[in-house]
Structure 1
């Protein structure tokens, strides 16, 4: 990891990297379990929402100024409506939650501690802003999904080791087109929450 620089960037300061980040998201999310057939225009609009939030955070992983990974976060109340509704209905209040968007890293850079740095810095940012809860969501796929690669292991043990737990019944739906499909389908997304240490 010695050649990788971890650089936090907030709000509109991320603008110079947005196109590169959009391409990175599409590349990484093609893999299982997301199987995302990416749309650059959608990606740019999605990332623009984060860039417009004055309390957002992008944690960039850079190797010789090339982005090899990124993790994002913003106050939940600044996120898309699909993410807000379940919290309004079930709690905790959106105003109490700092929401983590993607955490994507090219395969050659995994297993070097960068994922932990992504979480460390986002949790620190949330704490600095006084948010008592951090959250993210992940796609739910059937355990016997035939597209699951042989030997696949999910990130659930990593998330649990960071203190996150799936919140019972706290889900949303989000649509995208899977690789090989003609139409977009709506997926269930499970929220994972962690309360800040006392």
Structure 2
């Protein structure tokens, strides 16, 4: 597999594949996302509009099998202002790592580390001194939690990230076992660069 940094026209050309990957990967635990291509295209539009956006793509030949995205957190101000209110953190000083999606059969080869390495390097080049992401919070006894599900927290902590107390975003989406969208809390994690 080859990992490539995509910006500009290459980023734009990859977004439909990123949408497909988001729907496929986020359908599994812990997101359980019942995705919609039209929503994905609208959601990913912000990456076309941000000159500072990045997509890191994992390719198996010509096929995109994984992707990680990032952009300045301030470009998501409408989505995250409530989460950061009262935190004392200037959203303008933070680079945001959005999704990291990789097909299950391609995991275990260091691609997750490369995704973070490339986004962190991009944020440094842009002059950011902090980098953050958020992850969905699911109860340990969730009925769709697979036997032996592993937390990504040790991986995140190993890269120097820590949860930001009280900095929790809320988004709604339809779970694979539900008829309607429900609210989901997403915990923010951050580290200094």
| TM-score, with structure 2 as normaliser | 0.96
Kept in 2, the 8 Å contact 1:30–1:38? The answer is: yes
Tell me how far apart the structure 2 counterparts of residues 9 and 172 of structure 1 sit (CA, whole Å): 27
* 1:79 counterpart SS class: helix
Tell me how far apart the structure 2 counterparts of residues 80 and 67 of structure 1 sit (CA, whole Å): 29
* 1:50 counterpart SS class: helix
The answer to whether the aligner puts 1:44 opposite 2:41 as a matched pair is: yes
Equivalent residue number for residue 84 of structure 2: 87
The answer to whether the aligner puts 1:17 opposite 2:29 as a matched pair is: no
Tell me how far apart the structure 1 counterparts of residues 142 and 177 of structure 2 sit (CA, whole Å): 15
Tell me how far apart the structure 2 counterparts of residues 54 and 85 of structure 1 sit (CA, whole Å): 24
| Residue correspondence of structure 1 range 11-160 to structure 2 within 5 A | 11-79=8-76, 81-160=78-157
Instruction: Could you tell me which runs of 5 or more consecutive residues in structure 1 were left unpaired when the two chains were aligned.
Output: none
Kept in 1, the 8 Å contact 2:33–2:176? The answer is: yes
What's the C-alpha RMSD, in Å, of the aligned pairs?
1.1
Tell me how far apart the structure 2 counterparts of residues 10 and 78 of structure 1 sit (CA, whole Å): 16
Kept in 1, the 8 Å contact 2:33–2:174? The answer is: yes
Q: How far did residue 80 of structure 1 move?
A: 5.4
Q: How far did residue 176 of structure 1 move?
A: 0.2
Count of matched residue pairs: 193
Tell me how far apart the structure 2 counterparts of residues 87 and 93 of structure 1 sit (CA, whole Å): 8
Alpha-carbon distance change, 108 to 97 in structure 1, aligned in 2, over 3 angstroms: same
Instruction: Could you tell me which runs of 5 or more consecutive residues in structure 2 were left unpaired when the two chains were aligned.
Output: none
Tell me how far apart the structure 1 counterparts of residues 93 and 178 of structure 2 sit (CA, whole Å): 38
* 2:32 counterpart SS class: coil
| TM-score, with structure 1 as normaliser | 0.94
Equivalent residue number for residue 181 of structure 2: 184
